[in-house]
């Protein structure tokens, strides 16, 4: 034991100090002990223990030091604590962290609005690209319609329009290379002669190959009464890009079946869900059609942080004037070829704690940012092991606007995305 330590311990054990307990000699020994303390590189463990104030200043000062088997227990003065560097807060982390973000996000949005007809609605679409620029996350570009990545190119989804013999509109979705001069409007001219039906389609989901649509068909029966039907389908880019006739019966139009995605593994689920095939517009008499054993009619829907498959089961309404469907969850995870990245980190509870208004969320593949969807905003939060509460970017949404597409890009694809998307969205 150090001689100074030995003398100090002896004096501490002798009971109350003489001369009011804190002598000049003791103070000198304490100062000498501080000066001769081992350097920070020493393997000696240094512990910090909080001490409460004692009955008197002299007693508190004496208790600041206690040599115990070579370990030094030490509480620095209050002035040292006040000036000590504190752990970095979220507000201190975010500005520096934002400059390290190397993630781009292509978002597709749909806005639904009511028309003059109470039962009708109109849908509008826009695409925006969020990416780092000058060490900050920004909306790099945005434009009307839907621009999606497919393989190594960007494809444009547009509504093709034509009219039937009664002047009723046929509005359906078509796909073309964004760099191509061929537009969806031109493809509409290839449609064959149409019947007296009217058709509109609404995008429900846009992946990197597959697209889910809701289709509304209006027809007149032999008596001249107007009938309406709604269907849901999943199609792929080649089917949307190919020559097709939207006047064909729904089941004869090109589409992707559940068995095309899951194979025969989906058969037990289909047997349990027991969905019914969609009825043709002219077949409104039976209550149910036959059982859909292939999963002909299905869609892809968002469910709190992930995309899921839902199969449709059809029946007439009570009046027999229209056909409706009910969606049933398919208890199987969609494969990567349908949803390339669909992992949500952190857990939903942590997201709601940071943003109570959250209704959905998407996390980047390299786990550096999280896109939180609220009722009227898209909010990008930094993620660094935990969700940091300081938003990097907030984008205002229109009323009734929802996310139907979210595609991520990381290096080395960020800069090409910024260049190409900006060019295509401004065309």
- Look at residue 370 and tell me whether its pLDDT is greater than 90: yes
Q: What angle do CA 225, 227, 232 make, to 5 degrees?
A: 170
Stronger pLDDT, 323 or 364, i.e. the higher one: 364
Q: What percent of the chain has pLDDT over 70?
A: 67
Give the mean model confidence (pLDDT) for residues 250-274: 94
Instruction: Give the pair of three-digit tokens for residue 406.
Output: 């979210």
Lowest model confidence (mean pLDDT) among 59-63, 232-236, 245-249 = 59-63
Cis preceding linkage at 346, omega within 30: yes
Lowest model confidence (mean pLDDT) among 134-143, 212-221, 384-393 = 212-221
Q: Write out pLDDT tens, residues 5-31.
A: 555 455 545 544 444 444 556 555 555
DSSP, collapsed to helix, strand or coil, labels residue 133 as strand
Q: Write out pLDDT tens, residues 76-109.
A: 333 322 333 333 333 344 457 888 999 999 999 9
Q: Of the ranges 10-19, 169-178, 256-265, which is most confident?
A: 256-265
The confidence score (pLDDT) of residue 392 equals: 96
- Look at residue 216 and tell me whether its pLDDT is greater than 70: yes
- CA dist list (Å): 63 to 21, 45, 58: 12, 19, 9
- Look at residue 32 and tell me whether its pLDDT is greater than 70: no
The confidence score (pLDDT) of residue 280 equals: 66
Asked if residue 21 lies in contact with residue 11, where contact means CB atoms within 8 angstroms, the answer is: no
The confidence score (pLDDT) of residue 71 equals: 31
Asked if residue 368 lies in contact with residue 103, where contact means CB atoms within 8 angstroms, the answer is: yes
Question: Given the structure tokens 């064909």, which residue do they identify?
Answer: 248
pTM for the structure as a whole: 0.74
H or E stretch including 7? helix 3-13
Mean per-residue pLDDT of the chain: 78
Question: What gap in Å lies between CA 67 and CA 2, rounded to an integer?
Answer: 10
The confidence score (pLDDT) of residue 67 equals: 33
Paired strand residues for 122: 113
Instruction: Give the pair of three-digit tokens for residue 340.
Output: 């390339």
Stronger pLDDT, 417 or 22, i.e. the higher one: 417
Residue 127: pLDDT band with limits 50, 70, 90: very high
Give the mean model confidence (pLDDT) for residues 308-317: 91
Q: How many CB atoms lie within 10 A of CB 260?
A: 14
- CA dist list (Å): 258 to 150, 263, 271, 372, 391: 21, 7, 13, 30, 39
Question: What gap in Å lies between CA 167 and CA 143, rounded to an integer?
Answer: 30
DSSP, collapsed to helix, strand or coil, labels residue 26 as helix
Q: How many CB atoms lie within 10 A of CB 57?
A: 10
């Amino acid at each position: 034991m150090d001689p100074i330590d030995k003398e100090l311990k002896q004096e501490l054990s002798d009971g109350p100090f003489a001369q009011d307990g804190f002598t000049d000699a003791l103070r000198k020994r304490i100062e000498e002990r501080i000066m001769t303390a081992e350097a920070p590189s020493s393997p000696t463990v240094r512990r910090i223990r909080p001490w409460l104030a004692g009955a008197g200043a002299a007693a508190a000062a004496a208790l600041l030091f206690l040599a115990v088997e070579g370990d030094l227990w030490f509480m620095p003065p209050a002035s040292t604590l006040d000036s000590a560097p504190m752990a970095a807060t979220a507000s201190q982390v975010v500005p520096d962290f934002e400059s390290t973000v190397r993630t781009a996000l292509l978002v597709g949005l749909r806005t639904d609005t009511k028309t003059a007809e109470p039962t009708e609605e109109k849908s509008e679409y826009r695409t925006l690209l969020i990416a780092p620029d000058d060490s900050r996350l920004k909306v790099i570009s945005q434009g009307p319609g839907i621009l999606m990545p497919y393989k190594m190119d960007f494809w444009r989804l547009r509504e093709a329009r034509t009219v039937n013999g009664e002047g009723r509109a046929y509005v359906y979705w078509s796909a073309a290379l964004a760099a191509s001069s061929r537009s969806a409007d031109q493809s509409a001219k290839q449609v064959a002669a149409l019947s007296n039906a009217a058709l509109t389609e609404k995008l429900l989901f846009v992946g990197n190959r597959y697209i889910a649509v809701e289709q509304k068909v209006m027809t007149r029966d032999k008596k001249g009464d107007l009938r309406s039907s709604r269907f849901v389908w999943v199609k792929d880019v080649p089917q949307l890009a190919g020559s097709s006739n939207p006047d064909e019966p729904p089941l004869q139009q090109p589409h992707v079946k559940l068995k095309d995605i899951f194979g025969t593994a989906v058969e037990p689920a289909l047997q349990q869900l027991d969905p019914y095939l969609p009825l043709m517009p002219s077949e409104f008499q039976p209550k149910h059609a036959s059982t859909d054993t292939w999963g002909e009619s299905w869609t892809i829907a968002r469910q709190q942080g992930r995309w899921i498959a839902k199969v449709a089961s059809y029946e007439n309404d009570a009046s027999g004037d229209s056909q409706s469907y009910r969606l049933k969850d398919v208890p199987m995870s969609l494969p990567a070829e349908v949803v390339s990245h669909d992992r949500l980190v952190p857990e939903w509870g942590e997201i709601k704690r940071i943003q109570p208004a959250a209704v959905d969320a998407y996390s980047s593949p390299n786990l550096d940012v999280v896109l939180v969807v609220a009722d009227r905003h898209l909010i990008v939060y930094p993620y660094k092991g935990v969700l940091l509460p300081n938003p990097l970017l907030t984008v205002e949404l229109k009323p009734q606007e929802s996310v139907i597409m979210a595609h991520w890009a990381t290096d080395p694809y960020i800069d090409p995305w910024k260049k190409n998307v900006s060019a295509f969205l401004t065309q």
